[in-house]
């Protein structure tokens, strides 16, 4: 009897003994692989039914590389969690699209303009580029932005989804600020950390970005936080958002990024001009006054003010101006095709400093130099389309509080555009995901109206 029962279970027993044998030889490696495989399968089916979860997982996976680095943070990202998730989510939604191929999706014009830019920049770049690998690396970053835009646009189906994404972006910015504070503590304490930043601001770096790059995220998140602060009615949430604003403003100062801080000031000024006509003027000024006090009490504010006043003698400004000339000459050499993503450094006569980025640090010159007139026209059309859509949506809105929120998103985009004139933010994978997630969110703001739901199947 016993032997017959064992015979019936022979395949299960064989599997169990095989697993024990593998675990005994390779220790925890196969166990981790098995657990990962189970999680991936679970994630696949869960996200297939609820795509909005993928948006949250994707944006917060960016912070995983910053919180759990494997090696020295100065050597670049090590975990690359967001790349793996991008591949997984792309697979999931490609399968979902193919299974629903008969559905008629409403496709916004912004997506249709993205396609020729991606189709042009990859093959042409591979043909003209001196370094082919760089083309694939940088093109992937732009594609990640395109995918993030599509993911958010189609995943958000009601006001609950929309609010979760807005709050998620704000919490994302708050966590990034707290990561900066943690870096200060690791530099010997808060006071010692600030003194260290006084002498070298790039001490403030994580696995995927240094101080200037970190500031660009606050440029887009802080205006949105202001707008949502005046949109919501919950007093508890208002208190939380006010605290988040103060913390993120302090974190922005810690970056010592002159370009980022100036772009943020202009974005907030644009937002401020609309609040002059709204009933939110007093709350806006109250929070702004609190932030100003925090900034004035920050000893690094003096460093920023001194850096702005000495722009004409700044080494960073001098090196960028020289590289602007090299970028322009590269564009004149290949006016229609450009030299390919990430290949501008091979056409530079100006010697970049150690660790210097071979980027134009200017979205206009950079895009023309890397993708030529054709690619530049496609990409600038994308940026202009975003602004035109936001302005039209803002002007047609009748609800004053929602109108202010839409204006906050518009101000955020303006800030990002201005910062891109001095910082290569659009080239970065992390910024590309966050920025185009924000843009996709702004395209769905009308869902905040009571009872409104979105149906893509016509």
Q: From the first residue on, what is the mean pLDDT of each consecutive set of 10 residues in the chain (458 residues)?
A: 53 55 55 65 75 87 73 48 84 81 77 92 90 90 94 89 92 92 73 59 73 91 92 88 89 83 89 69 62 55 46 52 77 88 79 56 89 94 95 90 92 94 89 96 87 53
| Residue 51 is assigned to a structural domain of this protein | no
Chain centroid offset of residue 280 CA = 29
CA-based torsion, 276, 277, 278, 282: positive or negative = positive
Q: Which domain holds residue 278?
A: 110-448
| Residue 81 is assigned to a structural domain of this protein | no
| Residue 212 is assigned to a structural domain of this protein | yes
Q: What is the predicted pLDDT for the residue at 286?
A: 63
| Residue 5 is assigned to a structural domain of this protein | no
| Residue 93 is assigned to a structural domain of this protein | no
Q: What is the predicted pLDDT for the residue at 305?
A: 45
| Residue 38 is assigned to a structural domain of this protein | no
| Residue 415 is assigned to a structural domain of this protein | yes
Q: What is the predicted pLDDT for the residue at 373?
A: 93
Q: What is the predicted pLDDT for the residue at 74?
A: 44
What's the whole-model pTM score? 0.83
Q: What is the predicted pLDDT for the residue at 418?
A: 93
Count: domains in the chain: 1
Instruction: Report whether 157 contacts 457 (CB < 8 A).
Output: no
| Residue 233 is assigned to a structural domain of this protein | yes
């Amino acid at each position: 009897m016993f032997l017959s029962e064992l015979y019936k279970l022979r395949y299960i027993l064989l599997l169990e003994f095989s697993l024990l044998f593998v675990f005994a030889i390779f220790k925890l490696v196969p166990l981790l692989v098995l657990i990962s495989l189970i999680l991936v399968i679970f994630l696949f089916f869960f996200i297939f039914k609820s795509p909005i979860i993928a948006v949250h997982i994707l944006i917060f996976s960016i912070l995983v590389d910053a919180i759990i680095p494997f090696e020295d943070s100065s050597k670049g990202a090590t975990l690359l969690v967001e790349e793996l998730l991008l591949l997984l989510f792309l697979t999931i939604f490609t399968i979902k699209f193919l299974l629903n191929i008969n559905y008629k999706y409403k496709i916004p014009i912004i997506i249709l303009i993205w396609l020729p830019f991606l189709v042009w920049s990859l093959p042409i770049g591979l043909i003209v580029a001196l370094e082919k690998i760089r083309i694939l690396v940088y093109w992937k970053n732009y594609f990640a932005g395109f995918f993030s835009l599509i993911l958010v646009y189609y995943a958000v189906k009601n006001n609950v989804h929309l609010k979760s994404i807005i709050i998620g972006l704000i919490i994302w910015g708050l966590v990034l600020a707290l990561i900066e504070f943690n870096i200060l503590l690791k530099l010997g304490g808060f006071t010692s950390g600030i003194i260290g930043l006084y002498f070298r601001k790039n001490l403030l770096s994580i696995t995927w970005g240094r101080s200037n790059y970190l500031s660009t995220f606050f440029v887009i998140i802080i205006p949105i936080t202001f707008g949502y602060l005046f949109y919501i009615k919950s007093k508890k949430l208002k208190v939380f958002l006010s605290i988040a604003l103060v913390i993120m403003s302090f974190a922005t100062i810690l970056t010592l990024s002159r370009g980022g801080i100036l772009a943020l000031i202009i974005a907030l000024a644009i937002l401020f001009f609309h609040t002059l006509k709204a009933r939110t003027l007093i709350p806006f000024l109250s929070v702004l006054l609190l932030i100003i006090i925090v900034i004035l009490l920050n000893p690094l504010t003096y460093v920023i003010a001194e850096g702005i006043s000495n722009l004409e003698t700044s080494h960073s400004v001098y090196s960028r101006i020289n590289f602007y000339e090299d970028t322009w000459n590269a564009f004149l050499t290949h006016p229609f095709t450009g030299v390919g993503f990430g290949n501008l450094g091979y056409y530079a006569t100006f010697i970049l400093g150690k660790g210097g980025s071979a980027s134009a640090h200017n979205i206009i010159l950079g895009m023309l130099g890397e993708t030529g007139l054709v690619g530049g026209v496609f990409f600038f059309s994308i940026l202009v389309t975003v602004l035109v859509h936001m302005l039209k949506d803002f002007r047609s809105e009748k609800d004053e509080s929602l109108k202010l929120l839409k204006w906050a998103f518009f101000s955020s985009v303006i800030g990002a555009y201005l910062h891109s004139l001095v910082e290569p933010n659009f080239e970065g994978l992390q910024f590309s995901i966050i920025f185009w997630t924000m843009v996709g969110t702004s395209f769905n703001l009308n869902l905040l109206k009571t009872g409104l739901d979105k149906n893509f199947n016509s």
